[in-house]
Structure 1
């Protein structure tokens, strides 16, 4: 049986973060789960292309913007399943079993990982806990939590919108969801740089504005301007 999963990672000058993330994916290769690795790149000027060449990843270029990049990367994927991960997200050791269980039992649902930040900060545990509750209660996992979805289900849902922000929320609202019994560790760098409370509040208000109809383009401009 051919390996079923295409892993798609949006990249933009992400070479410094890719090492741990890619190392965590090696179990999927050894176990015959991963068919291909795709970097959906938005015009990196660092060594992302060299990293892709070293690890045998396909480099798909697209206009900058996570939604646009992910739409292009997923469109180019050959696997029966898509596993979408951020460049600074590292899956835990038992991720392959959780993914197998999901594919075997819930093929019509999209799966997401429990979020954990790579920090010992109590604020990090609090923010991750809220994110996991939001995903479970309201069906709103963010991109940091990864997404496992059968390609036919992804296409039926319309795929990623080619927007600069909220592409993850827009897609999951059109999917049936089920949590994966595994953890995704993601970088706390942005929260520690901006402040946990400040960045958390900005994320929450951005989501609220999106729900009342503010366009992703306006939200992206606001997101960048609020420093």
Structure 2
């Protein structure tokens, strides 16, 4: 593996899946089941628990999953998982993500692509509906135009490139956006034609239009120079209203 004239990976590159969790037991087990068909491509699955959930120990050991515990901060959890990983590619997934059968070939295509060091998937929101299909369409096209990814899009990255940009920044929100900004200075993202499935529970619980407005507003003020701490305070103040 090298990054001198490109981002060529060995054809036998190993994939480390890193999943930060916080009280996500049921969807996490479904995701682990989805990862099993990837076979040898997945070198290891690393779960980083921020909730100190004792019930995970026996559940994950039965599935040959490595479990670590840290403070409940997503950027810190993912960075910690990356430090424990030994794979050539780091794949960061949310616990409520579900995979599709095209995932294997898409990741193999990434391994064989010498011009890019990172990527993300398009998303499909489920349970879905007319408005949520429009939301997913805008999420995917915005990300394609800006080369900025969010965590629910299943970001994957060459570990050398991840280390080169310093991993996820230590901040409470927008860590995925900031990592994307750093990585796109190295290359454009690899975007598979297929999608992964992301839970729409947050959109349904908090309201579709309210969630759209809140997320676009937060990204706008962050782009205008608000700190991640300010964005975090505004987000949780709005969420409690």
| Alpha-carbon separation, structure 1, partners of 2:128 and 2:103 | 22
Unaligned runs of 5+ in 2: 1-10
Query: Which structure has greater strand proportion?
Result: 1
For the structure 1 residues 44 and 199, does the alpha-carbon distance in structure 2 shift closer, same or farther, using more than 3 Å as the test?
farther
Deviations 1:129-173 (A, max 9, x none): 011011100111211001111100111121111211111001011
Counterpart of 1:21 in 2: which secondary structure?
A: helix
Alignment of 1:155-174 (within 5 A): 155-174=163-182
Q: Contact 2:116–2:190 at 8 Å: present in 1 too? A: no
For the structure 1 residues 107 and 91, does the alpha-carbon distance in structure 2 shift closer, same or farther, using more than 3 Å as the test?
farther
Counterpart of 1:105 in 2: which secondary structure?
A: coil
| Alpha-carbon separation, structure 2, partners of 1:45 and 1:139 | 35
Q: How many pairs does the alignment contain?
A: 225
Unaligned runs of 5+ in 1: none
| Alpha-carbon separation, structure 1, partners of 2:98 and 2:45 | 15
Deviation at 1:52, TM superposition (A): 2.1
Q: Contact 1:134–1:141 at 8 Å: present in 2 too? A: no
Selected match of 1:16 from 26, 39, 43: 26
Runs of 4+ in structure 1 displaced over 4 angstroms? Answer: none
Counterpart of 1:78? Answer: 86
Counterpart of 1:154? Answer: 162
Deviations 1:67-124 (A, max 9, x none): 1111111111100111110000111111000000111114632111111001231111
Counterpart of 2:215? Answer: 203
What TM-score, normalized by structure 2, do the two folds share?
A: 0.88
Counterpart of 2:133? Answer: 125
Alignment of 1:26-175 (within 5 A): 26-29=36-39, 32-45=40-53, 47-106=55-114, 108-175=116-183
Deviation at 1:22, TM superposition (A): 1.4
| Alpha-carbon separation, structure 1, partners of 2:114 and 2:229 | 34
| Alpha-carbon separation, structure 2, partners of 1:107 and 1:76 | 27
What TM-score, normalized by structure 1, do the two folds share?
A: 0.94
